[in-house]
Structure 1
Amino acid sequence: MERVRWKRLICNNYATPKSKFIIWMVLHNRLPTVDRIRRWGINCDARCSLCRSEEESLQHLFFSCDNASAIWREICRLMRFDDSGGLYQDVISSACSQARKKKGKLFVMFFTKSVHAIWRQRNSQIFRESCKDTNVVLRDIFFKVATRCTDVERRRLLM
């Protein structure tokens, strides 16, 4: 039987079920990003709703968009993790390998919550035409991770 490499991003992840579901959708390329919606034959603006500069795809929305990049840079700085920027598959691979390490559970929660927060930002921009400031999103991510982690991990966050 073939091993599922990304299972640690879902199993033993203390992030909220909604966040884990969004990660599962990303891993299976099932989120309705604009590039997928257009392939279904639906005519819509191809540009990213957050930066308005490139076509929206999983790669762009979660890893290349200026909005997402600002979030990832801060999360990586906080976790003392090398921010390689990289391609979607490389970032997922890095997250999977981090999940095996001692600090891994905390990183996986941050990764999961960050993807969910970026998706919510995108949807808020599309459906409400409003978007939170990146610092507000980061505080929300930090708070939600801190409320779901253990006391030991919470102390690590405050260091």
Structure 2
Amino acid sequence: MKEAYHFTKPPQAHHNWCSSIWSISIPPSKSFVTWRLFNNRIPTDENLKTRGMALASICNLCWSNEESSTHLFFNCNFANSIWNWLSTQFGYYLDNASLQSLMSFSTQWSPQLKQVLVAGIINSISIIWHRRNKARFDNLSISFAQAIAKIKLDTSFTGNFSKLCARPSLLEFSILKAFHVHCNYSKTLQF
């Protein structure tokens, strides 16, 4: 019975970054958008077409390509600007080819900084989706500066809510301060 079940439904690979998406310090509404993107459940025009809806498709952010999850979150000019800005903030190249490549970053950082980076990625995905929905349904345009301010604010909330510790390095201090996050340092033992 077990072999028949695995034949019809092969086991899926477990991604170790999934637990960081569902963190207590990241709002579930933001994590849910990232989870939907990972599972290809975002209702983009491409996904709606596969469900049988016939509609004309255009990306509401760049007005130049058909809307798909890959284009909207990774290839659109607005998305590329967000990922380039986030890379600059961390001083680390983020490969924005896919969600998997974004979430596979260096492990040299402290736990607090890693959580701030994950929060920055999740908040960036959320703001791209939010801007798309505002443009499509409300005919409103959120500027790049407004999007960056929202990402910083949401990432600051996550970083300041975190109980994880940072390393006492100038680089980590400057990155955390750029997001207005207070550094949590481990307490030293006193004799």
Please classify the TM superposition score into its range, dividing by the shorter chain length: 0.7 to 0.9
Mark the CA change 1:105 to 1:125 in structure 2 (over 3 Å): closer, same or farther: same
Percent identical pairs in the alignment equals 22
Which TM-score applies when normalising by structure 2? 0.72
Measured against aligned partners, the alpha-carbon deviations of 1:100-146 in whole angstroms (never above 9, x if no partner) come to: 84221111000000000000000011100111101111011101111
**Does residue 72 of the first structure (1) align with residue 68 of the second (2)?**
no
Q: CA deviation at 1:8?
A: 3.4
Equivalent residue, structure 2, for 1:18: 29
Count of paired positions: 156
Higher RCO (C-alpha under 8 Å, 6+ residues apart): 1
**Does residue 157 of the first structure (1) align with residue 165 of the second (2)?**
no
Equivalent residue, structure 2, for 1:110: 120
Instruction: Please show how residues 2-41 of structure 1 align to structure 2 within 5 Å.
Output: 3-12=14-23, 14-41=25-52
Provide the aligned C-alpha RMSD in A. 2.5
**Does residue 93 of the first structure (1) align with residue 101 of the second (2)?**
yes
Q: CA deviation at 1:45?
A: 2.1
Instruction: Please show how residues 41-52 of structure 1 align to structure 2 within 5 Å.
Output: 41-52=52-63
Larger helix share, 1 or 2: 1
| Residue identity opposite 2:126 in structure 1 | H
Mark the CA change 1:92 to 1:3 in structure 2 (over 3 Å): closer, same or farther: closer
Match of 2:133 among 123, 126, 139: 123
Unaligned runs of 5+ in 1: none
| Larger CA Rg, structure 1 vs 2 | 2
**Does residue 136 of the first structure (1) align with residue 155 of the second (2)?**
no
Unaligned runs of 5+ in 2: 1-10, 167-171, 179-191
Q: Counterparts of 1:100 and 1:117 in 2: how far apart (Å)?
A: 27
Provide the secondary structure at the position in 2 that maps to 1:5. Answer: coil
Mark the CA change 1:94 to 1:71 in structure 2 (over 3 Å): closer, same or farther: closer
Which TM-score applies when normalising by structure 1? 0.85
Q: Counterparts of 2:125 and 2:24 in 1: how far apart (Å)?
A: 14
